[in-house]
Structure 1
Amino acid sequence: MKILMYGINYAPELTGIGKYSGEMAEFFVSKGHTVEFITAPPYYPKWSVSEDYRNKGWWKEYLRGVRVLRCPLYVPGQVNGMKRIIHEFSFLLSSLRWWIPRYFRRYDVVIAISPPFHLAFPALVHKWLHGTKVVNHIQDLQVDAARDLGIIKSNPLLRMLEKTEKFLLKRMSLVSTISTGMRDKLRAKGIPENNILLFPNWVDDKVIFPVSRAESLREEWGFSDQDKIILYAGNLGEKQGLEILFDIAPRFEQQPDIHFLIIGEGGIKDRLVRRVDADKLTNIRFLPLQPLEKLAPCLAAADIHLVLQKKAAADLVMPSKLTNILAVGGHALVTAEPGTTLYDVVSEFELGSLVAPENADAMAEMLDEILAGNRHADGIGARDFAETKLNKEKVLTSFLTSIANT
């Protein structure tokens, strides 16, 4: 097939949507398909364009067989609701430089990756012109999250965004998303059942796999074998509710062998660092995002992995960091409410320990339980789930088959 893909994030971004979009496009190429990808220069999760990609304007490159069409965009240093809207629309407008000539070319399928949700519109135009199959793959329900997390507070603006989102979704050939909870929310928006495909994020077991404690990065980071590491590795953003650590960490200050380690980048990192300094929290330490080849030994260093989300983010986003934790067989402490996809999956398949979101007392108590060795059974299904349900080859082959048969 000749495939055109469109998304604001792409390789070489190491985390989030860009990582999965890059692996998806490269997988299609490995199966003999021709792929073009319209995207921005890498800027996530630091919210700063990578030095090698700055001031290049519109340009083309080939990455592992994928023809990548880059276009400039506005990247705010400090992210808020309005700046994010400007950021996303700057990409939409800038990308027209690549879209206009492609409206005179034929493709077997166009895949628009959201967020941003409005990226479905240029793809839809191709369908109107040529009858092309158009797939909208949704990683986050962006409009719902903007409303429920208070990122956008203007009700007229939210209503306009919701109407626009429904208009686009109802005209897609296929809408795919990464969790059953998000699938249910798409149904509630009026998307027909036979137009929705469950397409979870995957794990590449050639890159992320169990690593022994001795082979982990503990020694490189200056930790002894007796130290207990409570790790959060991922995006440092508003949805995660990382501020809860400022309530929990002081409770463990009299236990010098317990360390909270935060690895990653994101829009609120500077705020978190300033708060740690202001509160003089000596048991919280920050490290930068680790390269992909170090990800398995990085995750293997932890005794407990934190998978945090605010209540309002339930079933609007699915934390992709969990897939990597499962792949290394780590013990995850997950904040989720009963009835959400995240809670149900973790509970049913024994993927980790569960506590209510934004409840510091419950979380501190569970940390004590896990560190005491009383909750080992909670996560006994982690590695098996990663191998059987999240295998990269199986997940992407199934998606490719669904596209071909749409």
Structure 2
Amino acid sequence: MRILIYGINYAPELTGIGKYTGEMAAWLARQNHEVEVITALPYYPEWQIHEKYKGKWWMTEVVEGVKIHRCPLYVPAKVNSIKRIVHEFSFLGSIFPLFLRSLFSKKFDLIISVSPPFHLGILPMLYAKLRGTKFISHIQDLQVDAARDLKMIKNKFALDMMFKLEKNLFENSSAVSTISTGMKSKIVAKGIPSSKIILFPNWVDQDMVRPLPREQSLIAEFGLSEDSKVILYSGNLGEKQGLEVIIEVAKALQSRKDVVFVIVGSGGGKANLMKLANDANLNNIRFFPLQPYNKLSALLATADVHLVLQKKSASDLVMPSKLTAILASGGCPIVSAVPGTTLYDVISDHDLGILIEPESPDALLQGIQRALASDLSHYRNNARKYSELYLSKENILRQWEATLFDIVQTKKEFVSNLTH
């Protein structure tokens, strides 16, 4: 198949959507598909253009068999709702020349648009209509719902227009894929037939991410005592997680000299978290930059307990991508989730960790105290087993490839019938 993927985030970004899009494209290329990607210069999660790409404009490179067309965009140093909108529209503007060129170049069998940003799908949808190509909207986050529920956008007219555009993109897609059953249900509730929606969950490479003994962790590298009880949050430090509760709990646990909170990562909320910790004179919180992928197992082995936190209003609008790696590493997560959501049900049904109420410092404190006083081995064993059964990178991408073949073949059979 000839496949063109649109997505604002892509490898070598280490976390979030870019990691999964990059792994998907590289895997498909290894199966001898012809894969091209239109994406941005890498900037996430640091919110600054990666060093190798600074000063670049439009450029093309081939990595792992994938032809990658990179475009410049505005990257705000401090992220807020208005700047994020400008950031996303700057990308839509910069990809327009590539869109025009693609219209008059070779024809692709399939276009995949990765959301967010949700409106990125406009140009792929136009290409699909003009060139008679299949078009898939892949939804990693329900961005418009999140913008409304997190009160990032409050203007009703603007939200109504965004929801109408989103629905139009879904209706004009050959298929809509998403990463959880909860998100699938929310898309069905928007009036999209369930038969049109494909479950395409995020995955983990279990050879790369695996349980390691504590002596192979980053305890020494981080300058921590071997006796430390490490509460780890690793990943995006953004608005959807409600990470301020960590500061409140760290205050309550200051008297426990053996407990240390380790926060690893980058994002729009990092500066605020560091300021809150500094203003409270907390000496039991350590901040570290995002670690390279080859250190991920060692990083996760550093933790006694992992934090997977979300705001109530983000329930089933996003799925925390960090959870797949935590489970593959045999970690015990404390997960803030609302009953009835996919995240809650997965953790509860498979006994993978400790569930707590979102946005509650008291609930988080009780969860941590319970974890520190308990034998967590059954959670750890369940976590690794679950990842092997349900999160295998190879199995998920094999099934995805078969689905793509089905979608493209449907189109070819339809065209064949018209010409005979």
Indicate the TM-score class for this superposition, using the shorter chain for normalisation. over 0.9
Q: Quote how far apart the aligned CAs of 1:246 are.
A: 1.7
**Corresponding residue number in structure 1 for 2:415:** none
Equivalent residue, structure 2, for 1:114 = 115
> What's the offset of the Cα at 1:360?
1.2
In the TM superposition, what are the counterparts of 1:338-353 in structure 2 within 5 Å?
338-353=339-354
Q: Which residue of 2 aligns with 1:138?
A: 139
Residues 119-157 of structure 1 deviation map (CA, whole Å, 9 limit, x = unaligned): 111111111112101111110000000000011111111
- 1:4, 1:181 → 2: CA distance? 27
**Cα displacement (A) at 1:380:** 3.8
Report the equivalent of 1:18: 18
State the one-letter code of the partner of 1:63.
V
Alignment of 1:61-210 (within 5 A): 61-104=61-104, 105-210=106-211
Amino acid at match of 1:95: I
In structure 2, how many angstroms separate the alpha carbons of the residues matched to 1:366 and 1:143?
32
Mapped to 2, the partners of 1:300 and 1:327 lie a distance apart of 11
- Find the aligned partners of 1:167 and 1:47 in 2 and give their Cα distance: 30
Task: For 1:74 and 1:293, locate their aligned partners in 2 and report how far apart those are by CA, in whole Å.
Answer: 30
CA distance in 2, matches of 1:399, 1:226: 44
Structure 1: how far apart are the matches of 2:80 and 2:255?
Answer: 37
Once the two structures are superposed, residues 61-88 of structure 1 have per-residue CA deviations (whole angstroms, 9 ceiling, x without a partner) of 1111100001111111111111111111
- 1:331 correspondence with 2:332: yes
Gaps of 5+ in 1: none
Question: What TM-score results when the alignment is normalised by the length of structure 2?
Answer: 0.95
Distance 1:223 1:56 in 2: 39
Gaps of 5+ in 2: 408-420
Tell me whether 1:52 sits opposite 2:49 in the alignment.
no
The 2-side partners of 1:221 and 1:119 are apart by 40
User: For residue 214 of structure 1, what is the aligned residue in structure 2?
Assistant: 215
Deviations 1:326-349 (A, max 9, x none): 000001000001101100011011
1:143/1:161 contact within 8 Å kept: yes
Q: Alpha-carbon deviations, 1:252-299, whole Å to 9, x = none?
A: 111111000000000011111111111101101100000000010000
Paired AA for residue 54 in structure 1: K
Give the whole-Å Cα distance in 2 for the aligned partners of 1:3 and 1:374.
Answer: 48
The separation in 2 between residues aligned to 1:121 and 1:297, in whole angstroms, is: 41
Kindly state the Cα deviation for residue 224 of structure 1 after the two structures are TM-superposed: 2.5
2-side partners of 1:367 and 1:59: how far apart?
A: 47
TM-score by length of 1: 0.98
Partner-residue secondary structure (3-state), 1:147: helix
- C-alpha displacement at 1:375, in angstroms? 5.2
Q: In terms of mean alpha carbon deviation, does 219-228 or 166-175 score higher?
A: 219-228
Secondary structure of the residue aligned to 2:46 is: coil
Question: What is the DSSP-based 3-state SS (H/G/I as helix, E as strand, rest coil) of the residue aligned with 2:177?
Answer: strand
Alpha-carbon contact 1:350-1:379 (below 8 Å) kept = no
Q: What is the alpha-carbon distance in structure 2 between the residues aligned to residue 225 and residue 77 of structure 1?
A: 37
Match of 1:8 in 2: 8
CA offsets, 1:276-325, max 9 Å, x none?
Answer: 11110110110000000001000001000000000000000000000000
Q: Which amino acid in the other structure matches residue 382 of structure 2?
A: G
The alignment partner of 2:303 has SS state of: coil
Q: Is the 8 A contact 1:236 1:264 kept in 2?
A: yes
The 8 Å contact of residues 303 and 331 in structure 1, kept in 2 or not, is answered as: yes
Q: Post-superposition shift, 1:188?
A: 0.5
RMSD: 1.0
Query: 2:29 matched to 1:29?
Result: yes
What secondary structure is seen at the aligned counterpart in 2 of 1:182? Answer: helix
Task: Give aligned pairs, total.
Answer: 406
AA at the equivalent of 2:209: I
Whole-angstrom distance in 1 between the partners of 2:10 and 2:222: 29
Question: What is the 5 A alignment of 1:245-264?
Answer: 245-264=246-265
Identity across matched positions, percent: 52
Assess if the C-alpha contact under 8 Å between 1:353 and 1:375 holds in 2: no
Please tell me whether the aligned partners of residues 332 and 376 of structure 2 are also in contact (alpha carbons under 8 angstroms).
no
